[in-house]
Amino acid sequence: MQTETRNTETLGALIDKLSIVNLKLWHCQELLYSHNSTEQNQGEERTKLESKNTSLLGQRERLIAVIDEWVSQAVTNPEGMLLANPQNKIYGRFRTDEQQA
């Protein structure tokens, strides 16, 4: 028996998370594999960077899988999609604070 999963994230929020993980991964790999830092990052520091790199690759893989699942569910069962915490933003003329003046 297959159970229906409800994804409470919006597609934009998932892509935002993926972009942040990709940036962290890029910076981590830059430190890990650049020529200058390879000489500097020996021993314990290199081990920490390798561990972070592995963790970030895993996070990236999981986020991509969740995005794939989200898109698949949106196509096959759009009624089952659940948006969590819709945000209501008020701009311009609707502001009531004194900064508007």
Report which of residues 66 and 2 the model is more confident about.
66
pTM: 0.68
| Average pLDDT rounded to a whole number, residues 19-44 | 83
Distance from C-alpha of 10 to C-alpha of 26, rounded to nearest angstrom = 24
| Average pLDDT rounded to a whole number, residues 68-85 | 79
Categorize the per-residue pLDDT at 85 as very low, low, confident or very high, splitting at 50, 70 and 90: low
Q: Are 14 and 66 in contact (CB under 8 A)?
A: yes
Distance from C-alpha of 24 to C-alpha of 4, rounded to nearest angstrom = 32
The position carrying tokens 């096959």 is: 76
- pLDDT for 37 equals 60
Categorize the per-residue pLDDT at 57 as very low, low, confident or very high, splitting at 50, 70 and 90: very high
Residue 73 CB coordination number (10 Å)? 17
Alpha helices in the chain (DSSP H): 11-33, 35-40, 44-76
Q: What rounded mean pLDDT belongs to the chain?
A: 80
Q: Are 37 and 29 in contact (CB under 8 A)?
A: no
In the 8-state DSSP scheme, what is residue 79? G
